[in-house]
Structure 1
Amino acid sequence: MTVIIKNDYLQAAINEKGAELTSLKANEIEYMWQADPAFWGRHAPILFPFVGRLKDDQYSYKGKTYPMSQHGFARDEMFQVKEQTEEKVVLVLESSEKTKEVYPFDFLLTVSYEVWGEGLRVRFEVDNTGDDEMLFALGGHPAFNVPMDKGLDFEDYFFSFSPQKSRVKIPLEGPYANLDQKTLGQTNTNIRISHDLFQNDALIYETKGLNTFTISAEDSPHSVTLAYNHIPYVGLWSPYPKEAPFICIEPWWGFADTVDSTGKLEEKPGMNRLAAAEKFKTQFSITVR
C-alpha cells in the first residue's frame, strides 16, 4: 500500500514496503527516480541494520555467524503505519523471529515523513528494546531524476556543497572501504556531474555539523537539496558504466566493511552502539524547487 502526504506545494508517496519514498512531486515535476529496473529497481531504500556490503555477505557476533545482504533487510520488510495526517506519516518496523535469524537484536525502527513548505523532513528513531547493547548502522538512499528538465542532459548538472570546504574522502576497493587510503576531497568548489565521476563507485565523504548537498543546473530553475546536521557520512552515487538518469545523495550512519575487515560485528568501524532501553534519533530534509 502507498501512503500520500501533501501540502499546497509538495506531494510525497511512501510505500509501506520498506517505508520507501517513491515519489516527490512539485512544479508538475517528479523529482524521485522511478525505479526502472534496467538501471536500478529502487527509489529511496532505507538501509538498516547495515550500510553497504559485508565480506562474503555475512558477519559474526558473539561467535555465531549470520547471513546479511547488502544494506540490510529493512528495505524489503513491511512497515506498519502508526500515524497518518494529511502532511505526515509515521511507519514502524519491529524485530521478530524472522529478523532475529539474521540480526540478533530486539529493536523498534520508526520512520516518519512530513512535508513542510518546499521540503520533506525524514526522521529516524531506533529503539533498543532488548536487554543487551545493540550495534547497528542506518542510512538513507534517495535517488533523484537527473536531468530534471526537458532539454537538459545529465552533464548539464553539478553538485554544490555548503559549507564550501574540503571533506575527508573514503575510497572504495570494490565494495569495501579502504580507511588507510583516505584523501581530502575537493568539495570546496562545485563538481560538474558526469557518468565517469562514478567510475569507482560512490563518492563517500566524512561530514561534521551542518551540511547541504545540492544538484542543480545553470540553465534550470529546478534543483534538489539534501540537508542534515550531525550525520557522519554521505555517499554520492549513480551506477557505472550504465548511463543512468539519476543520482543518489545518501546520508549514512555507518559504511561498508573495510578491506581488512575481520567479519566480527564487535570490531566493525562505523557502527552505532545503543544501550538497552536507549533511543537513537536523527533526521535529514529534502528541498525541491
Structure 2
Amino acid sequence: MGITIETNHLKAVLDEKGAELTSLKRKDADIEYIWQADPKYWKRHAPVLFPIVGSLKANTYTYKGKSYHLPQHGFARDMVFELIDQKEDAVSFRLKSTEETKKMYPFDFELTIGYALGGDGLTVDYQVKNTADDEMYFSIGGHPAFNVPLEDSFEFTDYYVDPSPMKSRINLPLKEGLIDLEQRTLGQTNTTIALNHELFENDALIYETKGLNSFAIRNEQSKHSVTLSFKNFSYVGIWSTYPKESPFVCIEPWVGVADTLESTGELTGKLGIQKLAAQDTFHTKYAIVIK
C-alpha cells in the first residue's frame, strides 16, 4: 500500500520499495501524470538510480584492484527504504549501506530521498552522505515516466518535448547500452522535439546539461502538460521503449551516465562519476510541475 501526501489541489503516492513515486495527480483534473507500470510495456514508475546511472561494461567495475558487479542503474530501485519522516504534504525515505550492498558496492552511505508538494508540482530531493572515513564514488539520477498521451482523446504523436533554454546541447549516443563518445554530436535541442516512437530506435536521447534546464511534454491542442526542471544535474535522458510502442516518455535528470565503449572499468575514472569526501554530503533536487 502506498504512502499518500497531498495539498488542496495535488496528490502524490510513494512506495517504500525504491522510495518510488507511483502517482501524481491534480485534484481538479482526472489525469494521472505518472506511468502506471503496466508490465506489458515497462514495470516501473519513477525509479531512483543509485549508485550508478546506466550500464557498466559487462555489469562490472573495479575499485582498489577488486572487481564488483552491479546491474544497470544500480540496486536502490529494488530495495526497501526506511520511512523517516511524513507530513501531510511531504515525506522522506532513507537507505543505508549493509553488508549485502557492500558486496556490490564497497562504500558506507546513507541515501535520503524527500518528496514535497507545493505550488503546481512536486520537488524531489536527493542527499547522499558518505558515512565512512575514506572517499566515496557514486552516481545518482531520476527516471520518472510520464503518461503520453495524458488524455485519452489524443495520440502519442500529438505531443512534443519542449526544452528550455532552447539551445543546442551535446548529444551522447548509445551503442548496446554504452556511450559512444566518438559519435557524439551537437543535439538539436534549440527547437522542440516532436514525439514519435522511432525517436527511441537507438535507445535514450542523452544530452549534456549545465545550469538551469527544464524539459516539458506538451500538446498544442491541450492545456495539460508536465515539466521537469533541474539545475545541478550533468545529463538528461529522454526515453521510451522501442520497438515496443509504449504510452509513456521518461525525462531523466542524471548525475552520472553509462560507461563509454572505451571504459577501462575503473570506477574512479568513470565518465560523470562523483567523488565525495569522508563524512561529506552531496545534495541536489529536481521539480515536476503539472498543468
1:97 to 96, 99, 112: 99
Distance 2:32 2:108 in 1: 37
Which residue pairs with 1:32 in the alignment? 34
Q: Look up the equivalent residue of 1:137 and give its one-letter code.
A: S
Which residue pairs with 2:74 in the alignment? 72
Secondary structure of the residue aligned to 2:42 is coil
1:153 to 140, 155, 158: 155
Which residue pairs with 1:84 in the alignment? 86
Please report how far the alpha carbon of residue 179 of structure 1 lies from its aligned counterpart in structure 2 after TM superposition.
1.7
Q: Look up the equivalent residue of 2:228 and give its one-letter code.
A: L
Task: Give the unaligned 5+ runs of structure 1.
Answer: none
Please report how far the alpha carbon of residue 57 of structure 1 lies from its aligned counterpart in structure 2 after TM superposition.
1.1
Please report how far the alpha carbon of residue 63 of structure 1 lies from its aligned counterpart in structure 2 after TM superposition.
1.1
Which residue pairs with 2:21 in the alignment? 21
Which residue pairs with 1:128 in the alignment? 130
Q: Look up the equivalent residue of 1:55 and give its one-letter code.
A: K
Q: TM-score, normalised by structure 1?
A: 0.99
Distance 2:114 2:220 in 1: 33
Secondary structure of the residue aligned to 1:29 is coil
Please report how far the alpha carbon of residue 267 of structure 1 lies from its aligned counterpart in structure 2 after TM superposition.
1.7
Please report how far the alpha carbon of residue 268 of structure 1 lies from its aligned counterpart in structure 2 after TM superposition.
1.0
Q: Look up the equivalent residue of 2:6 and give its one-letter code.
A: K
Which residue pairs with 1:5 in the alignment? 5
Question: For residues 191-230 of structure 1, what are the structure 2 equivalents within 5 Å?
Answer: 191-230=193-232
Which residue pairs with 2:172 in the alignment? 170
1:186 to 183, 188, 196: 188
Q: Look up the equivalent residue of 2:178 and give its one-letter code.
A: Y
Which residue pairs with 1:272 in the alignment? 274
Q: Residue 181 of structure 2 contacts residue 260 of structure 2 at CA under 8 Å; is this kept in 1? A: yes
Q: CA RMSD in A?
A: 0.7
Q: Residue 146 of structure 2 contacts residue 248 of structure 2 at CA under 8 Å; is this kept in 1? A: yes
Question: For residues 32-51 of structure 1, what are the structure 2 equivalents within 5 Å?
Answer: 32-51=34-53
Q: Residue 213 of structure 1 contacts residue 227 of structure 1 at CA under 8 Å; is this kept in 2? A: yes
Secondary structure of the residue aligned to 2:72 is coil
Deviation per CA, 1:123-162: give whole Å up to 9, x if none.
Answer: 0000000111100000100000000012100000001111
Distance 1:189 1:103 in 2: 40
Secondary structure of the residue aligned to 2:215 is strand
Higher mean displacement: 171-180 or 192-201: 171-180
Q: Residue 46 of structure 1 contacts residue 139 of structure 1 at CA under 8 Å; is this kept in 2? A: yes
Distance 1:62 1:229 in 2: 32
Q: TM-score, normalised by structure 2?
A: 0.98
2:283 to 257, 260, 281: 281
Deviation per CA, 1:160-206: give whole Å up to 9, x if none.
Answer: 11111111111111100012221111111111100001101000000
Distance 2:191 2:270 in 1: 33
Please report how far the alpha carbon of residue 258 of structure 1 lies from its aligned counterpart in structure 2 after TM superposition.
0.5
Please report how far the alpha carbon of residue 230 of structure 1 lies from its aligned counterpart in structure 2 after TM superposition.
2.3
Task: Give the unaligned 5+ runs of structure 2.
Answer: none
Secondary structure of the residue aligned to 2:216 is strand
Runs of 4+ in 1 over 6 A off after TM superposition: none
Distance 1:33 1:123 in 2: 20
Distance 2:259 2:165 in 1: 28
Distance 2:212 2:275 in 1: 22
Secondary structure of the residue aligned to 1:135 is strand
Q: Residue 35 of structure 2 contacts residue 45 of structure 2 at CA under 8 Å; is this kept in 1? A: yes
Which residue pairs with 2:144 in the alignment? 142
Which residue pairs with 1:253 in the alignment? 255
Please report how far the alpha carbon of residue 96 of structure 1 lies from its aligned counterpart in structure 2 after TM superposition.
0.7
Q: Residue 7 of structure 1 contacts residue 117 of structure 1 at CA under 8 Å; is this kept in 2? A: no
Q: Residue 205 of structure 2 contacts residue 238 of structure 2 at CA under 8 Å; is this kept in 1? A: yes
Deviation per CA, 1:40-96: give whole Å up to 9, x if none.
Answer: 000000000000011111111111111110100000011011110000001000001
Q: Residue 212 of structure 2 contacts residue 229 of structure 2 at CA under 8 Å; is this kept in 1? A: yes
Q: Residue 232 of structure 2 contacts residue 285 of structure 2 at CA under 8 Å; is this kept in 1? A: no
